[in-house]
């Protein structure tokens, strides 16, 4: 393993694993259900990510690309932007 | 006991049943388990036969072990809480056994306590931004791992369901388990989906309980042959480390394999020598993965191995005769020591209707947050 260092990631990859989170996890700003999975990027790095849903028709190895989602802020605060992958 | 003894003997075991106990505190459950273990070891009340104590716990706060031993008037010695996620109990055993083998102490008390809320475990392991993004969804990591196992090891949802059926059937006979009712494959597959492919009945319940073990230098009785703890190598994407990213990890040994190999080597025992196993069945796929990771069966064959009935109560290698975490529930700090309590009963021949005939060599396995994996080997 090389010494870890920041790298720029590709916004495109392929689907490596997916599921649906059906109960809102602890501390989550968004509500369940939402897609959750792993996308494999071209250099071989696998990223844990939210997935744009529904995921029922997702297939192993299908192309995915980076997108963004606004989650409601806590206590009526500003929305929080995070990433998710789309088909 | 003489200085010539090289072994570490388990002289006493005690358990507070795993379940949900209302107002009863973790300290009170710990007191019950420690009292039982000391009585089992033949130590009279008020007698401090041990020179140190390690307390496995993840959620009990500051100096939790002191509160238990304080209530028993057994303080005055080093008392150290040990946190290694689900492997806290195994980690405490490792430290205790090493101290005895090093000649530091003749006897060490090891116990674990936990009182956990229902539902998805909230873990400070996740940074706040990760929780906010919904990425602290622990069962989803389990589900992705299950999906991978189905893809790579020929495992089906029916296999997953049958693990639950097996463990719940074993749990019927365990008075220390939370769930003591049999379930069918249809019940399991009919329970609600938490994270596809995992249904509610395929996931263990975080709960409450305590367990205790008295270790002593000695060459008789039930021997603690090895207690190994390992963490994950960098790069795995779906392990209990719940990483944000990883690489192709086919050539990376997972932490459970690292711990198992270390324990097998330390004890001079191999997987084919085992008579009985208690392994981490946080979810049904986790047990099947453990078969491969502990090298009980070749990688990629967990599905076929499960199908063969190899690990049923009358199979060649019974796994989780206690009912596993799927029946007992999982009080983190106590769960690993609960496995050891079960295996000591098995090796003493005192496991009643759960007895694995002629069991002489046993393995206990936990793996959890960190990732931390522990493997403990016992023999008579």
ipTM, two decimals, is 0.94
Confidence of residue B1 (pLDDT cuts 50, 70, 90): very low
Mean pLDDT of B156-160: 95
User: Which residues of chain A does B143 touch, with a Cβ-Cβ cutoff of 8 Å?
Assistant: 19
Mean pLDDT across B136-141: 91
Better-predicted residue by pLDDT, B40 or A5: B40
B238 or B335, higher pLDDT: B335
* For residue A80, pLDDT beyond 80: yes
Q: In whole angstroms, what is the distance from residue B254 CA to residue B286 CA?
A: 13
Q: Residue B124's pLDDT is what?
A: 84
pLDDT, tens digit, for every residue of B186-199? 999 999 999 999 99
Mean pLDDT of the region B372-379: 98
Distance of residue A27 Cα from the nearest chain B Cα, in angstroms? 5
- At B187 the pLDDT is 98
Q: Are A44 and B248 in contact (CB under 8 A)?
A: yes
pLDDT of residue B90: 97
Three-state secondary structure along B312-365? CCCCCCCECCCCHHHHHCECHHHHHHHHHHHHHHHHHCCCHHHCCCCCCEEEEE
What residues in A contact B196, CB-CB < 8 Å? Answer: 19-20
Please give the C-alpha separations between residue B73 and each of A80, B36, B45, B50, in angstroms, as whole numbers: 52, 15, 10, 13
pLDDT over threshold 60, residue B2: no
Q: For residue B76, is pLDDT > 90?
A: yes
Closest Cα in chain B to A40: B247
- Contacts of residue A50 in chain B, CB cutoff 8 Å? 133-135
Cβ atoms within 10 Å of B72's Cβ, excluding its own:
15
Q: Does B221 touch chain A (CB under 8 A)?
A: no
Test mutation, A8, A18, A27, A51, chain B, max B CBs within 10 A = A27
Active site residues of B: 86
CA atoms of B108 and B351, how far apart (whole Å): 25
Q: Give the tens place of pLDDT for each residue, B163-172.
A: 999 999 999 9
- Residue-level pLDDT at B207: 96
pLDDT at B312: 94
By percentage, how much of chain B surpasses pLDDT 70? 99
To the nearest whole Å, the CA of A55 is away from the closest chain B CA by 10
DSSP SS3 for A38 = strand
Query: Per-residue confidence at B4, pLDDT binned at 50, 70, 90?
Result: low
Residue holding tokens 């300290």?
Answer: B27
Question: In this predicted model, what pLDDT tens digit does every residue of A19-70 receive, in sequence order?
Answer: 999 999 989 999 999 999 999 999 899 999 999 988 889 999 999 999 999 9
Residue B214 has pLDDT above 70, yes or no: yes
Nearest residue of chain B to residue A22 (CA atoms): B194
List of E strands, chain B: 8-19, 52-56, 79-82, 107-115, 193-195, 198-199, 208-217, 222-231, 245-246, 276-278, 361-368, 372-379
Across the interface, whether the CB atoms of B195 and A21 are under 8 A apart is answered yes
In a mutational test of the A interface, the residue from B129, B140, B197, B239 whose CB has the highest number of chain A CBs within 10 Å is B140
pLDDT of B48-71, one tens digit each?
999 999 999 999 999 999 999 999
Cα separation of B157 and B164, whole Å? 11
| Contacts of B192 by beta carbon, 8 Å cutoff, 6+ apart | A22, B199, B200
Decide: helix, strand or coil at residue B37: helix
φ, ψ (nearest 5 deg) of residue B177: -90, 155
Residue A21 with chain B: CB contacts under 8 Å: 134, 137, 139-140, 195
Q: What pLDDT sits at residue B141?
A: 93
Query: Does B194 lie at the interface with A, CB-CB under 8 angstroms?
Result: yes
CA A19 to chain centre: 11
C-alpha atoms less than 13 angstroms from C-alpha of B369 in its C-beta half-sphere: 19
Virtual torsion, Cα B84, B88, B92, B98, nearest 10 deg: -50
Q: What is the pTM of this model?
A: 0.96
Nearest residue to B365 via CA among B260, B266, B265, B267: B260
Higher pLDDT pick, A77 / B213: B213
Q: Which two tokens stand for residue B107?
A: 């006897």
């Amino acid at each position: 393993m090389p010494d870890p260092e920041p790298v720029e990631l590709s916004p495109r990859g392929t689907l490596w694993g997916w599921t649906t989170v059906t109960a809102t996890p602890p501390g989550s700003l968004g509500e369940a259900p939402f897609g959750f999975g792993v996308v494999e990027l071209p250099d071989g790095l696998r990223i844990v990510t939210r997935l744009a849903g529904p995921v029922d028709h997702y297939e192993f190895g299908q192309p995915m690309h980076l997108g963004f989602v606004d989650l409601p802020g806590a206590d009526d605060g500003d929305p929080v932007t995070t990433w998710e992958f789309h088909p | 006991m003489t200085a010539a003894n090289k072994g570490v003997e388990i002289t006493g075991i005690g358990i507070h049943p795993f379940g949900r106990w209302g107002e009863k505190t973790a300290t009170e459950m710990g007191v019950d388990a420690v009292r039982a273990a000391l009585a089992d070891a033949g130590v009279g009340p008020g007698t401090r036969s041990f020179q140190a104590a390690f307390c496995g716990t993840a959620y009990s706060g500051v100096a939790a072990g002191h509160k238990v031993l304080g209530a028993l008037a057994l303080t005055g010695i080093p008392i150290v809480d040990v946190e290694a996620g689900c492997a806290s109990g195994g980690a405490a055993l490792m430290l205790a056994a090493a101290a005895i083998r090093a000649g530091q102490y003749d006897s060490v008390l090891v116990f674990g306590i936990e009182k956990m809320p229902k539902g998805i475990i909230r873990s400070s392991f996740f940074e706040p931004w990760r929780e906010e993004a919904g990425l602290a969804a622990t069962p989803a990591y389990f589900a992705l791992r299950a999906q991978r196992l189905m893809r790579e090891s020929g495992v089906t949802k029916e296999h997953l369901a049958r693990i639950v059926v097996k463990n719940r059937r074993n749990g019927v006979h365990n008075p220390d388990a939370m769930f003591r009712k049999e379930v069918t494959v249809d019940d399991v597959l009919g329970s609600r989906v938490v994270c596809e492919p995992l249904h509610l009945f395929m996931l263990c319940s975080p709960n409450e309980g305590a367990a205790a073990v008295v270790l002593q230098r000695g060459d008789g009785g039930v021997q603690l042959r090895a207690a190994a703890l390992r963490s994950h190598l960098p790069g795995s994407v779906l392990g209990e480390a719940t990483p944000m990213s990883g690489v192709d990890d086919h050539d990376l040994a997972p932490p459970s394999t690292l711990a198992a190999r270390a324990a097998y080597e330390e004890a001079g025992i191999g997987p084919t020598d085992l008579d009985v196993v208690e392994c981490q069945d946080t979810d049904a796929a986790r047990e099947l993965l453990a078969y491969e990771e502990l090298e009980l069966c070749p990688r990629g064959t967990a599905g076929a191995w499960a199908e063969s009935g190899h690990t049923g109560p009358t199979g060649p290698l019974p796994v989780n005769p206690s009912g596993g975490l799927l029946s007992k529930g999982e009080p983190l700090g106590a769960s690993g020591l609960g496995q050891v309590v079960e295996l000591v009963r098995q090796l003493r021949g005192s496991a009643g209707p759960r007895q694995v005939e002629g069991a002489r060599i046993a393995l206990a396995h936990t793996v959890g947050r960190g990732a931390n994996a522990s493997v403990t080997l016992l023999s008579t």
